Amino acid sequence: MVNALTPKHLAEKRAGFHELFFDLIFVYAIQKIAHVILTTQNGSISADLFFKYIVMSLFLWLMWSHQTFFTNRFGQVTFKDVSFMMFNMFIMVFLSNSLYPDFEKTFFPFFLCVAIMYLSIGLQYLLHIRTGLDYGDKRTCQAFATVAFVISFLSFLSLVLPQSIHYIPGFLGVFIAATGLIPFQKYLVLSPVNMMHLVERFSLLTIIIFGEVLVGLASSSFSIDHFSYIYIFQFMILISLFGVYWIITENYINHKLSSIGFRLSYTH
């Protein structure tokens, strides 16, 4: 049992099954984007379209991070928190199945799902303010809620603007998702993340992605009938990357560090 005097960011906290379930859906969405990039009508993809889908992948990563930051700091296995997670998972499934090589066909369902999910994330922070928090936690909730609602508004706005300019507020939302919390750092340091839990979440997600890459590599490249030594090099490169990540995660991250979690998120 954790001592009542133990600071929240040092308390033992493990990833819940509902969090891991959500991670699987997120990885599925990333996999779908990769499939769209690699599978086009003419066997090639323009630099412009490639850039747009990379930005969309970044948006998904930031969205996952913002949800994870809430779960890390304030989330509990309660009906409210699990229900929000399941709702976001439901929206993520629709987002994953709305990705096409035609970006304009993808734009509306993608940003509609993003708008709804950031609205959900903002509501989670807003509702948590009412639970009697200290100054640092309250300001942190206000900061995350403000950024989430702004992103949601910009995403909704992009859906009603003409096609020639609708990507401007949409991609502005990506920029705000990546940088919008920086001005609030003086409040966020008063509510540090639980590093043990956050490292576990990012590590498990990264391991799942490594696994998906290995499965994709095996299914698309490796063939016992047409064996090539290049398979060995491909496999060794992937294993080396995983090994480096493993060593850094296990030996060079202080799980008791008082941090706002930005460095861990951005380096991933």
Closest CA to 38 of 21, 53, 26, 27: 53
**Confidence class of residue 150 from pLDDT cuts 50, 70 and 90?**
very high
Mention every residue, 6+ apart, whose C-beta is less than 8 A from residue 2. Answer: 11, 12
Q: Is 176's pLDDT higher than 90?
A: yes
Averaged pLDDT for residues 134-151: 92
Q: What are the pLDDT digits (tens) for 55-103?
A: 888 888 889 999 999 998 898 888 998 999 999 999 988 888 887 777 7
Residues making up the chain, counted from first to last: 268
Which tokens in the block code for residue 258? 């008082």
| Cα distance between residue 100 and residue 91, in whole Å | 17
The model carries a pTM of 0.85
Burial of residue 257 (CB within 10 Å: 0-12, 13-18, 19+) is: middle
Contact of 72 with 193, CB cutoff 8 Å: yes
Mention every residue, 6+ apart, whose C-beta is less than 8 A from residue 32. Answer: 96, 97, 99
| Cα distance between residue 111 and residue 167, in whole Å | 10
Which stretches of the chain are DSSP H helices? 17-38, 47-73, 79-96, 103-128, 135-160, 167-179, 185-188, 195-220, 230-251, 262-267
Phi and psi angles of residue 101, each rounded to the nearest 5 degrees, phi first: -60, -30
Cα distances (angstroms) measured from residue 8 to each of 33, 172, 249: 37, 34, 22
Averaged pLDDT for residues 202-211: 82
Q: What are the pLDDT digits (tens) for 3-51?
A: 555 666 667 778 778 888 888 888 888 878 777 766 655 556 677 777 8
Least confident of 176-180, 230-234, 241-245: 230-234
Closest CA to 65 of 201, 206, 246: 201
